[in-house]
Amino acid sequence: MYHRCAVQVRYCDTDMLGHINNTALAQWLEVGRVELERDCLPGPAYVMLRKLDIDFVAEMHFGGAVEIRTGVDEIGNTSLVLHQEIWQEGRCGVTARVVEVWFDPQTRRPTPVPSAFRAVYEQLRFGDERFVS
């Protein structure tokens, strides 16, 4: 099952167009990945972002409760493909495809995904509940 968490929206996440600014949505996606780490993983995940592909499906606004959903699509040797969705009041506003690479904190070079983490990632799947626009 994929990971779900609420986002605490900040007033400064809005911009003068009256909606949530795209760069705040990138922050919310980061919140989702970090909360997944804290909630599910067996220790600190040394990962770097390689790709962040964001689809802005609908405008999002200050006020309504926001939920981030994060699941794992692919597990490579050193890399990981995540799928994320941001929902507000029953509506998906953002989807994202995220590629992360595990690295060695000493050398900062890519390193294989540790097996204890791999086992958890295997469980974090979206299945049929994935948003289709």
Question: Given the rule CB under 8 A, which residues bind a second copy?
Answer: 6-8, 10-12, 14-16, 18-19, 21-24, 26-27, 30-31, 34, 48-56, 59, 62, 108
99 phi, psi to nearest 5 deg: -110, 125
Measured from the CB atom, is 27 or 77 closer to a second copy? 27
Are 30 and 13 within 8 A, CB to CB?
A: no
Measured from the CB atom, is 19 or 69 closer to a second copy? 19
Measured from the CB atom, is 1 or 34 closer to a second copy? 34
Q: In whole angstroms, how close is the CB of 7 to a second copy at the nearest point?
A: 7
Measured from the CB atom, is 24 or 92 closer to a second copy? 24
Q: In whole angstroms, how close is the CB of 23 to a second copy at the nearest point?
A: 4
Q: In whole angstroms, how close is the CB of 2 to a second copy at the nearest point?
A: 19
Measured distance CA(63)–CA(50) in Å, rounded: 32
Residue type, 51: K
CA-nearest of 78, 88, 76 to 19 is 88
Contacts of 75 (CB under 8 A, 6+ apart): 81, 113, 118, 121, 122
CA angle 15/53/38 to nearest 5° reads 85
Q: In whole angstroms, how close is the CB of 73 to a second copy at the nearest point?
A: 16
* DSSP-H helix ranges across 15-75: 22-40
Measured from the CB atom, is 63 or 112 closer to a second copy? 63
Q: In whole angstroms, how close is the CB of 122 to a second copy at the nearest point?
A: 24
